[in-house]
Structure 1
Amino acid sequence: MGTSSSSKGSGSKQPMVPPWADDQPGTPVPAGPPKRFQAFRTSFGKYLKSGDRDDLKRSLGHYARTATGGSGVGPRRFGSVYNSGGDFYEVLKSLGGDGGNAAERGLSRDSLAGQPLDVVCQRLAEMLAPENGDADRIREAIDEAMLEVLGEGDFDPDSLDDETVARIMGEYLSQTVFQEIVEEVGGSWANAPDEKRTSAAEAELLEVIRVIVDKNLAPKLTDGKAITKSDVLRFMRETVVEVWREWESFDE
């Protein structure tokens, strides 16, 4: 599910917000405290050993408050995610409609219809991913979101109604936050006694994220009003802020 075996996580000397990811470029980024990931990784390691959900919540509290600078800073890390997500939303809506916007991007609604879903996912992911350090994360999130919501059969653009598009967008945003946490846990994944425990921890982490994202994002995407790309970017950012705020409240 995640990338727990392939990342060592960020170091304390790395910027709180990667330059390519900042959705508020030009706004000063505060310096991170020394060893800002230590409490987060220690608590997550305890969670991997114990399976205690309180340890998971405690680790996410440390992540939001200390490792990433709180809800005023942490959500800035997802600028590329917001931008690609806005494009993703427009393409999905177009494919579910007349196909015009998608065609302008080189994606023919008629030619994609009936193709294996994994092939369509790959086409969209390659087209929408930015050329920066978040490219792999965004490609994977697009792929996972479409497969999770649409299944693994052939692609039917007529299935992309408003509710389905909203579910895909919620899963996309959940997956990007999930992947960031998985990567930043770094070497603490070694505390899991076996692969079964690792998979269970990943699944529980993803579900914790999904619950908050769905509660905040889905109503904004399905209220019947006309939605622009800038609206989608704002909705995603507001949702990530709410994720951080909820995590900040854990174990205070």
Structure 2
Amino acid sequence: MVPPWTPAAPQDPVPPLAPPPPSDDPDAPPAEGTSSPPPLAPPAVLTPPRLAPEKRFGGVRTSLGNFARSGDDRDLRRGLGHYVRSGYGGSNVTTSRFGGTAQTAGALSHALYSTANGAADAPVDATALAGRSAEDIATAIIEAVRPVDGTQDAEAERAAIHDAMSDLLAQYPDADLLNLSNIERDFVIERFSAIDVARRFELDVGKHLLEKAATATVAMARLKQMRTYIVEAVAASFRKLKDHGRMLTAGRVARIVQDALRDTFEVFEGYEE
């Protein structure tokens, strides 16, 4: 399966018209209006395009190895800087790579908003879920927003939605997932976006951190530290947008999330090596 962030492959050019078939008589002159065909050139060897430079995460792994041993946020910041600069070629490309996160955030916002308002197009049947556990409701929302499609991106986003709603219930114990307030809904959208970035980073390069940590306990502590750092960085970008009047209003959620992620990746890109 071709990932959604992969640039479209160029179309093959239309082959030229073939020359008329040669006569069976080797001494026969060329057909009228034609000239002798030139000798055939050897077939070109086609090299498939590389989707990503070799060892693109080399700098990230080195920095994460240092972070696994030291726990120093400066090593983590260097790793995040390499991730954006050399791993994906800059903040603009990285933002495009996370385009699915913004789209899913928009779908999640619609599901939560339409369910709370009893809209006819709500993808979640609130009546059928009345009286069910928070876990059952969360599962129904996840299935409606991000069904399984066999990709790592889908699995990461599904887990991020689940974690975001778990964090919501920890922050707002009385929240009703079928009838969230604007503040609660914004919390879920922002937290989902941040957790998804952390999970993608972990999928891409987290294995190296686990391998370089001294013990399993240290590895888990470093992963938690890494996730917290990324979540706080994304949250800071959302606060910056809010300070400029950019709110998560209906119909603009995907765009706002995309802008928040771009701001986050620009910050990461600026981290010194």
TM-score surpassing 0.5? Answer: yes
Equivalent residues in 2 for 1:46-195, closer than 5 Å: 46-102=66-122, 105=123, 107-130=124-147, 131=149, 133=151, 134-151=153-170, 156-157=176-177, 160-188=180-208, 189-195=210-216
TM-score where L is the length of structure 2: 0.74
Can you list the C-alpha shifts for 1:171-198, whole angstroms capped at 9, x where unaligned? Answer: 1001110111111125412111223222
Sort the Cα spacing of 1:32 and 1:146 in 2 relative to 1 into closer, same or farther, 3 A: same
The superposition leaves residues 72-92 of structure 1 with CA deviations (integer Å, 9 ceiling, x where unpaired) of 211111222222221100111
**Which SS does the other structure have where 1:167 is aligned?**
helix
Report the counterpart of residue 249 of structure 2 in structure 1: 227
In 1: Cα distance, 2:221 partner to 2:246 partner: 37
| Identical counterparts, % of pairs | 26
Whether contact under 8 Å (1:81, 1:176) holds in the other structure is: yes
Partners of 2:121 and 2:9 in 1: how far apart? 33
| Other-structure match for 1:36 | 56
- Shift in CA distance, 54/85, structure 1 to aligned 2, threshold 3 Å: same
Match status 1:249 vs 2:270: yes
- Aligned alpha-carbon RMSD (Å): 2.9
Distance (Å, rounded) in 1 between the aligned partners of 2:189 and 2:265: 18
Bigger Cα displacement from structure 2, 176-185 vs 220-229: 220-229
Larger relative CO (CA 8 A, sep 6+): 1 or 2? 1
Structure 1 unaligned spans of 5+: 1-17
Q: Does the CA contact (< 8 Å) of 2:90 and 2:269 recur in 1?
A: yes
For residue 67 of structure 2, what is the amino acid of its counterpart? Y
Distance in 2 between residues matched to 1:191 and 1:162, nearest whole Å: 42
The structure with the larger Rg is 2
Aligned residues: 230
**TM-score, normalising length from structure 1?**
0.80
Q: Which structure 2 residue ranges, 5 or more long, are not aligned?
A: 11-48
* Cα deviation, residue 203, structure 1: 1.8
Name whichever structure is richer in helix by fraction. Answer: 1
